[in-house]
Every structure is written in structure tokens, then in C-alpha cells.
Amino acid sequence: MPQNTNPESAGSVSSASITFSDEKPINTKPQIKTATKRAAARKTAPKKAAAPHASLPESNIKTSVSAERLAKLKNWGGDKVMSASEAIMWRMEVLPKTRSTGTSLHILEGTPDWSRFMATMEWMVGVVPRLRQKVFISGVGQLPSWVDDESFSLQYHVRRVSLPAPGMQSDLMTFLESFSTTPCDRSRPPWEIVLIEGLDKNRSAFALKIHHSLTDGAGLIQLFEGLLARSADEVLSPIPKWQPQKSLWRRQVGGRLLTDFKQLSSTASSMGRHAYKWISDRETEFSKMALDYTRSIMALNQAQSGGGSPLFRKRGLATRIEIFELPFPALKAASKNAGASFNDVYLAGIIGGFRRYHEAYDMTLEAVPLSFPVSVRKPGDPEGGNRFSGVSYHAPVYSDLNEQLQAVGDFVSKVRKEPAIDFFNQLMPGMLAMPNSVIAALMSLVTSRMDAQASNIPGMRETVYLAGCKVLSHYAIPPRPGCAVMYAMITHDDKACIALNIDPAAIVEPRLLVESVTAEFNEIIAKFSEKQD
């Protein structure tokens, strides 16, 4: 199995830096001085089977990491130039409540050997070039781009900690509340990893903090589909030594500015002429389309005009993280028996959880301002990156589960067909001309109107391993951009893993909220355990 014999040299990755724990270095050259003795040695020396050692030629090493997985990892991250929405997320960091750094959390069975773990991390940054790249701001009016970090050091990005005994889940959450809210160093690749040892029941945790401008939830799963092993003894493929490509500042700034200006001028002129002719020829049709598009935008952002719960009006910067699991097969069966989609059941459970929370205060909740992403990722899109648009929903609250599921299902199916579904991303280029502080303030105004945001991420449905340890569960601890609580669910193997990022200034009893939403999901599972007539 792969071991890193010198973890301190992890900043430079090459095939020679990975060895295997059950072997000694291979010496295939007997120390024989004369040609006659060398020939005799070749005849008499017993033949040894070549062991899978990283110093051997690559073609001699058998590996279970497929060429397809390696190719996807090499290209993970997509374009070298950020999209407008990714640039906006990067620039919103000026306000703490609009930061968009999330944390992926894998709970592991056992604790990986540290040397083997570091060897796996070396392999990871070796096969995923985007993880060795930082953000480059080329100039006014230019989208940020990804360039190699010439001073990249794995030691900066990877570390380990040990929880105080007895290592309860509450201890893990306390650590993550600090780790996940600490911004990444913007002068380096915007991610950090920590191996958390000492979790109870002979477990450990692998936490990857990563900026949203690098990837959305679906892209994160694509990354782990390539990185995680399918068996405990999977052999890592050797990787060639990589060297950072030096940034050609003048070409990136001056050349791109001139080229982009020429292209922009030409494109704008051509688009203007064609648009004028098109509108003139289709004045009535265009007016109808404009009205339909405006109506569609309003439908996608209906929660902006409604008020939220009086219990959740206060907002703060503190963070409370909670996680829990649900049986995925039972939840999926319930959705099928109810005639609803799995996502509809997820949103209905969140809404019902809010209803129960308010009932504990003897309050009646009529609606929940709730937003959620809708994937616009298409077949053939690059792995990683961000391919989503946002929808806000002024969700009516019903005590009857059938009515609640029907209302959610009707809304979601309708908005997916809206012509303005990608309006969020179309709006972003126009915002790039604004100062960072104005962008952050505007986005904060929009997101703070929401009581909740929710994300549903289909995860891996097979058993996987990290550095020899089985992955028991996978959570996405989301950022919380101004709302009272952000939910994120990843379906991993047979579990639905749900994480909540709670603002304790708004939700003063976080455990009550967790108990409320868990009770609502359990009622859904019980009620729809059999198909309804």
C-alpha cells in the first residue's frame, strides 16, 4: 500500500516520492564487476516478480485507478477563467456573512496511517492540477483566472488534529464551527484539509474546506468519484513530477485586455445591429417575450416580496453546526409511495420542521421564505466548477403531508420550465462593474430575506475508501449567506446525510430545530411506508 516515506517533502510530488509499506526498496542490479560474472549472474540468479513500486516504469505497475478516472481528475475544475457568477462569489468575501466557503466532511471507519494519508494527498494534488492553482486578478474589467501557484506547499494545505476524549460528535462540531468559518488564504489555492483523529467508536474524519468559486456540490461529488478508492487496498497510480507554469503577467493582462476589448467591441457592434433588426421585425412578438420573461423572473424570486418568521428576524455572525442521518432507502421509498420526487420530500421535510419549531412556541407559521439551487449542468459540461441557478420560494405551510408535498411538487415542476431559470447567471456579468462592497451588500440584502436555503446533492452509492479506511458517511457543511439556516443533504451509500449551518442569533434553540425536522422526516417515512391509494 502507498506510504510517504518522507511526509516533510510533500510539497514536491513525483512517482519516486511514493513507496509501499509492505516492501523494501528493490535493487535489481547485483554488485558484479566483470562482464563474465554479470553474464553468469543472469543465468544463475533466480527471477523475481516485479513488485508494484513507484520507482519502476509506469507501464510495469498494475493499478486499479482507471484511466477514465485519471482523465477526469486532470480536467476537473473546468475553464481556466472564472464565470461571472464564480467571480462574484470570490469578490463577496469582503463581508463575513456573504462568504461562500463550504466544508466536505467524510466520517471514516478507523484512522488512516499518517504516512499513507499524506501519500494519498500527494497523489491527489498531483493528479488534479486545479488544486495547485490560485486565483489571479488580471485587471479592471477582467474575470479572475486560475494560475499555478509557484510556491505551492502541501504542508500549508494539509494538517491533522486530535479531538479531546471521548471525541463525541459535539466535539467534532465545535471544531468544525471554527474551521469552516475561517477564510482560506486568498494568495494560495483556496482549500484546506484536516484529518481529525480521536472520534468515538474508533472513527476519524476527513474535512476539506473549499471555496465555492472552485466548485458547486455536484462538482465536489465528481471530484470524490475520482479520488476515493473502490477497495481498501487500491494501489495509487504513479504520477510524473510536476512543475508549476510561470504566469506570463504581461500576456495575461495586456494581451488579454487588448484581445478582449477588440472582441467585445466587434461582438457588441454586431449584436447591436442584429438585435435592432430582429426587434424591428418582431415588435409584437418581442413585447410578449419580454413580458413572459419578466413574469418568469418574478415567479423564480417570489419569496423576495414576502416576509419571514418573526422568530428569525435577528441575524448574527456566530455559527452552530448540526448533522444527522436518515435511512436513504426508506426515504426514497416514501417519496415513491407518496407520488413525489425525492427532492420534494426533502423540501417538505424542511418546511414541516419549521412548522413544528413554531408550534413549540405556540405560533402558527403560514409560509417559509426558502431558496434552493437548480442545477443547469448538462451532459458534456466540464467536471467541477459551478453550474447552478438560484430559486426563491415563498412556501405555504400545511399540516397535512399530502397537501404539503403537492404544493412543493407543483412549484418545483413549474419553475424548472421557466424561461428565466438561468437569470441569476445572466445577471452576474452586469454586476462585475460594481465595487466589491456594493456587490456584497446587494447579495446580502437578497439572501438575508430568506429564512432558509437548502441544497440536495446526489452522492456516491457505492462503498469507497480513503487511505485504506472505509467512508461511513459524507456531509456537506454549507456556507450560510445571510439566511437563518442553510441545509445541505448528500445521499451516500444507504444514508441521507444532512448538515445544518445555523445562525444562533436567529434560531436560539438549534437542538429544537434538529429534533423538529428529524421528527417531520420520520413522520413522512412512517406515513408513506406503503403506497397510498
Q: Tens digit of pLDDT for each residue in 384-411? A: 777 667 788 889 999 999 999 999 999 8
Residue 532 near residue 338, CB atoms below 8 Å: yes
Residue 13: its pLDDT value, please?
37
Residue 303: its pLDDT value, please?
55
- Indicate left, alpha or beta for 385 from its phi (over 0: left) and psi (-120 to 50: alpha): left
Helices (H), 26-83: 35-44, 67-74
What is the average pLDDT value for the chain, to the nearest integer?
81
Which candidate, 481, 418, 425, 424, places its Cα nearest to that of 450? 481
Angle between helices 67-74 and 217-227 (to 10 degrees): 140
Q: Which of 3-17, 291-305, 435-449, 450-464 has the highest mean pLDDT?
A: 450-464
Residue 248 has pLDDT above 90, yes or no: no
Q: Can you give the length of the chain in residues?
A: 533
Give the Å distances, CA to CA, from 204 to 165, 195, 243. Answer: 13, 7, 33
Helices (H), 148-255: 154-157, 169-179, 217-227, 249-250
Q: Taking every pair of C-alpha atoms in the chain, what is the biggest distance, in angstroms?
A: 97
The band of 138, judged by pLDDT with boundaries at 50, 70 and 90, is confident
Residue 486 has pLDDT above 80, yes or no: yes
Residue 325 near residue 169, CB atoms below 8 Å: no
User: Phi and psi at residue 370, in whole multiples of 5°?
Assistant: -135, 135
Residue 167: its pLDDT value, please?
96
Residue 272 has pLDDT above 90, yes or no: no
Distance CA 351, CA 330 (A): 19
Go through the domains of the chain in sequence order and give each one's CATH number.
58-237 (3.30.559.10), 297-454+496-527 (3.30.559.30)
pLDDT tens for 451-460 read 999 999 999 9
Residue 4 has pLDDT above 80, yes or no: no
Give the range among 49-53, 343-347, 363-367, 378-382 with minimum mean pLDDT: 49-53
Residue 365 has pLDDT above 60, yes or no: yes
Residue 335 has pLDDT above 60, yes or no: yes
Residue 299: its pLDDT value, please?
57
Give the Å distances, CA to CA, from 472 to 149, 205, 222, 359, 421. Answer: 34, 10, 18, 35, 36
- Tally of helices (H runs) and strands (E runs) in the chain: 16, 16
Residue 476 near residue 130, CB atoms below 8 Å: no
| 85-113 as b/e: b if 16+ CB within 10 A | bbbbbbbbbebebbbbbbbbbbbbeebbb
Q: Residue 519 is inside which H or E element, if any? A: helix 510-527
Residue 97: its pLDDT value, please?
79
Distance CA 110, CA 104 (A): 18
pLDDT above 90 as % of the chain: 55
Residue with cell 467585445: 264
Which candidate, 346, 361, 372, places its Cα nearest to that of 309? 361
User: Which three-class secondary structure state does DSSP give residue 364?
Assistant: coil
Residue 354 has pLDDT above 60, yes or no: yes
Give the range among 43-57, 243-257, 387-401 with minimum mean pLDDT: 43-57
Residue 468: its pLDDT value, please?
96
Residue 16 is classified by DSSP as G
Residue 30: its pLDDT value, please?
38
